[in-house]
A and B are shown apart, each in its own frame.
Chain A
Amino acid sequence: MSADPIHVVLCFDDNFWAPAYAVMRSICIASKRRPDLNFHLCHPGLAAGHIADLGRIGEEYGASVHYYDLRENEVFRRVGLKARYSDRLTHVIYARLMVDHILPGEVKRVIYLDCDMYVRHPIEEMAELDLKGHPIAAVRDPHSHIITAGRDLRQNLDLFDPADPYFNSGFLVIDMAEWRKADVLGRLESMIEDGTMDRLYYDQDVLNLIFKHNWLRLPQMWNLLMPRTPHEAFDPALLHYTGARRPWNLVSMVAFGRVYRHVMTNELFYRFFWFRMRRRIKRWFHLK
């Protein structure tokens, strides 16, 4: 068994601490190299109670958890806060584009994951994967046509050809040396300045522009979008709960919905439920 550390990066805000915990715990459950796991958590401030929750990953599995407060990161403050965002996707989604400016320099390989995921296969398969000289590995996004070309599939044709392969940026295996060569941050800054950013689908389009024809395609099972019950039989390696149905909802009708509750642990599942209820009620009162 190799003792090389496995570096995993998550970017989320305080409201998403419980799904982030569930992703980490799913990785730990499926891995034979738990003590080698290093979780790098990039966040714009976390409540003390939530940090305590996240820290339990270290206690239960012997994995290491590192925290990076984005508010103290000069690069994120300068660039990340300038980029386009929506109600659903906050600025924190851009943190993944600055991963080389956030993590320590000695990290050679990074696995980035969105927090609406459930990992079911050993993550070391990705840590040990041969990237064949590519800066990143990812899974094709089956919805690329509608994402890039929009109405009547005729938009942004100067930026994306629908015939080109396009990946989902929710799961990335990154070779840090090659990534640095691509100057992701510099490209992002110029896209913000020249207005290209206003025409793009967030970080995913940015990464697809920068790494066009320069990424390794992973099997679809390593980032299964909109997972539903029929997918369970295929033993997917990684479920990505995109779309409106979320596994942390009481009734979610997604693949492995019940198992997910146990991955998050029941106590946190219901605490997260009440947390969302309280937020909703608070917002409701503000509207009045």
Chain B
Amino acid sequence: MNQFPSQDKSQPIHIALTFDDNYWAPAYATMRSVCLATHRRKDLVFHLCHRTLTKRHVADLSRITDEFGATLAWYDLDKDARFADIAARARYNRRLSNIVYARLMFGELLPATVTRLIYLDCDMYVRAPIEELAEMDMEGSPVAAVRDTYSFQIIGGRDIRANQDLFYLTDMYFNAGLLVIDMDAWRREGVLAKFEQVMQDGTLERIYYDQDFLNLAFHGRWKRLDTLWNVINPRAAHEAFDPKLLHYTDRRKPWNLFSFVAFARTYRHVMTNDLFYAYMRHRLGRRLGKLIGLKP
């Protein structure tokens, strides 16, 4: 294998991912895409907030360090009493699973030395140098993100009439899949304590998980990023715009054999062919397991 060239170490770039064992392969692909698109591979520190992982998957993920010289920091949420407490009480979603609440705990989980954090969902493919976000001017905002063009539907639900007491539809609403976070401000904010409040007063039952919560918490105080930094539902027609970050939000996922999404073929090579097919077998195995489990 050829070696990836890399610049000498300078300032660390902190990136956080949250995922469970069934999502290890997309998490690997997201990390690898970040590494491919930057020269500052050795500065990258990936903070992996994960449910307990199998040894084999840990080995897969560790290849990021072997190949690029990036640092991996592991946080096993199943060994964290605070997460267990919240996961047990918060509203559950089958597709998103309770892992979505992990991002609310960055203030508690990550070391105090992390002052700027880039959070990424694991259904993403990063195509531009991540330092653009690590070094951007936040202009005093605690978070930066991309506007979510589905906000009316997400907030208002059926007939766009729900939760009008919580949100103004005309206000800017962000997609929480990519967040640039000023960690000092985040810690001062007491994000987790605020979430505790929302959980206790019943608001959490009415809202769209952590994304709605973060939008309530940082209402009117977030910096808007260029849409190319979080292109949702990416399709072939988007390729020509040279997007900086693709977010495979809908049912079409680039790890499916036929996905019809933007850069589907390249994504397979980002994930590496070995892992792409291993992940396919993993999903098939799970599906079969569920099927058999259903039988009396």
Q: Footprint of B on A, CB under 8 Å?
A: 140, 142-143, 145-146, 149-158, 161-163, 220, 224-228, 230-231
Contacts and interface: CB of A to CB of B under 8 A. Distances in A.
A225 B37 contact: no
Closest 10 CB pairs of A and B: A157-B2, A142-B242, A230-B237, A162-B36, A152-B272, A146-B266, A228-B237, A224-B240, A163-B39, A153-B269
Interface of B: 1-5, 36-39, 127, 129, 236-237, 239-243, 263, 265-266, 269-270, 272-274
A220 B241 contact: yes
A158 B37 CA distance: 16
B4 A157 contact: yes
Nearest to A156: B2
B273 A161 contact: no
Given A152-B273, A154-B1, A230-B237, A140 B37 contact: no
Contacts of B1: 154
A220 B36 contact: no
A151 B239 contact: no
A151 B276 CA distance: 12
Nearest to B3: A157
Given A157-B4, A161-B5, A226 B270 contact: no
Contacts of B36: 145, 149, 153, 162-163
14 contacts: A142-B239, A142-B242, A145-B127, A150-B269, A153-B269, A156-B2, A162-B37, A163-B37, A163-B38, A163-B129, A225-B239, A226-B239, A226-B240, A228-B236
B59 to A, nearest CB: 17
Contacts of B270: 145, 153
Contacts of A220: 240-242
A218 B212 CA distance: 38
A161 B4 contact: yes
A156 B2 CA distance: 7
B199 to A, nearest CB: 42
B280 to A, nearest CB: 16
Contacts of B2: 154-158
Contacts of A155: 2
A146 B266 CA distance: 6
A125 to B, nearest CB: 19
Contact of B39 (A151, A157, A161): A161
Nearest to B5: A161
A220 B240 CA distance: 7
B240 A225 contact: yes
Given A152-B272, A154-B1, A227-B240, 8 more contacts: A143-B266, A145-B127, A151-B269, A153-B266, A157-B4, A161-B39, A163-B36, A228-B237
